[in-house]
């Protein structure tokens, strides 16, 4: 069982998306958004590879009147308060060799969520998410990863800040990192090839009760990546040309992996808009 609670305040908020860029309202003298979130997760593991996660949560979020003025659909219908209870269930089947940076195995999860389960809740949303990944080796130092993610949600008209597609967290198409693509549903696919050019171990001179390993692995890969995705937006698509369009991007790069869990990726990416650039990605699974 895991219990999580948080309270956040912010002096800025993204109030709308224009030309697939977020537009922010900032007030240096006052907090424009305050959110309290509490969630409890129950995990059942019938075996080594499978687990069931049952979740229940509560959210209370308030926005400044000016936020609702800029975008009445921020919480919908000009509201400045959003409050609801939520339930969720996720099934996970995990056969990866290393969770933080897998090179062999597979991963699958499917999750359903309901936001606003009581008649008194002022938001009612439903979502389904599916993730699948396959990792395999075809040569001495040559590895491939194929990942797909699907998201479906309803209804079509949702609060602006909840209907996130690409450009948030790890959901992006290479070459479109500077854009956000909002929508109610999406598909994202990634194909990555990795060729290891360097592998060695760093000695651990700071062994203690937390870090007991005698050495840390260090790997360097040349990579080639091809991403594709599609975001379906039936409500906020006006003025955002990347919505309801097939996005394709990718390019070569180099990836440094340390301690099985931390990776740095430097990639030169291209997209269908004729744009290109150098992007740095960092991830940690600690």
Q: Is the pLDDT of residue 244 over 60?
A: yes
Using left for φ > 0, alpha for ψ between -120 and 50, and beta otherwise, residue 242 falls in alpha
Q: Residue 285's pLDDT is what?
A: 44
Q: Residue 266's pLDDT is what?
A: 94
Q: What CA–CA distance (Å, rounded) separates 243 from 265?
A: 27
Gyration radius of the chain's alpha carbons: 21
Instruction: Return the C-alpha torsion angle 177, 230, 96, 202, nearest 10.
Output: -10
Note the pLDDT tens digit of each residue in 67-99.
Answer: 999 999 999 989 999 999 999 999 999 999 988
Grouping H, G, I as helix, E, B as strand and the rest as coil, residue 271 is strand
Note the pLDDT tens digit of each residue in 21-33.
Answer: 999 999 999 999 9
Q: Out of 105-119, 133-147, 196-210, 266-280, which region has the weakest mean confidence (pLDDT)?
A: 196-210
Residue 67 belongs to what H/E stretch? Answer: helix 65-70
Q: Residue 153's pLDDT is what?
A: 95
Q: Residue 286's pLDDT is what?
A: 35
The answer regarding whether domain 2-284 maps to CATH 3.30.70.20 reads no
Provide the residue ranges of all domains of the chain, joining segments of one domain with +.
Answer: 2-284
Token duo for residue 75? 């919480």
Q: Is the pLDDT of residue 20 over 80?
A: yes
Grouping H, G, I as helix, E, B as strand and the rest as coil, residue 140 is coil
Q: For residue 205, what are the contacts with CB-CB under 8 A and spacing of at least 6?
A: none
More confident residue, 170 or 225: 225
Torsion angles phi and psi, residue 236, rounded to 5: -105, 20
């Amino acid at each position: 069982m895991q219990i999580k609670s948080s309270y956040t305040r912010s002096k800025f908020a993204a109030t709308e998306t224009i030309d697939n860029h977020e537009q922010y309202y900032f007030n240096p003298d006052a907090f424009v958004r305050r959110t309290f979130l509490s969630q409890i997760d129950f995990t059942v593991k019938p075996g080594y590879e499978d687990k069931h996660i049952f979740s229940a949560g509560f959210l209370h979020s308030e926005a400044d009147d000016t936020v609702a003025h800029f975008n009445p659909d921020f919480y919908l219908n000009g509201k400045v308060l959003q409050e609801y209870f939520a339930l969720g269930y996720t099934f996970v089947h995990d056969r990866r060799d290393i969770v933080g940076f897998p090179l062999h195995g597979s991963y699958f999860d499917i999750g359903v969520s309901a936001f606003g389960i009581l008649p008194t809740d002022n938001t009612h949303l439903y979502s389904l998410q599916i993730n699948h990944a396959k990792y395999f080796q075809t040569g001495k130092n040559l590895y491939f990863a194929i990942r797909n993610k699907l998201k479906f949600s309803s209804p079509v008209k949702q609060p602006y800040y909840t209907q996130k597609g690409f450009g948030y967290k790890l959901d992006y198409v290479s070459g479109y990192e500077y854009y956000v693509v909002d929508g109610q549903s999406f598909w994202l696919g990634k194909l990555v090839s990795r060729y290891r050019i360097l592998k060695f171990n760093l000695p651990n001179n700071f062994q203690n009760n937390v870090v007991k390993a005698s050495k840390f692995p260090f790997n360097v890969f040349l990579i080639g990546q091809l991403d594709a995705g599609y975001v379906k937006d039936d409500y906020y698509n006006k003025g955002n040309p990347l919505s309801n369009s097939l996005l394709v991007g990718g390019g070569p790069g180099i990836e440094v992996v340390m301690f099985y869990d931390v990776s740095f990726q430097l990639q030169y990416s291209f997209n269908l808009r004729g744009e290109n650039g150098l992007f740095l990605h960092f991830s940690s699974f600690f």
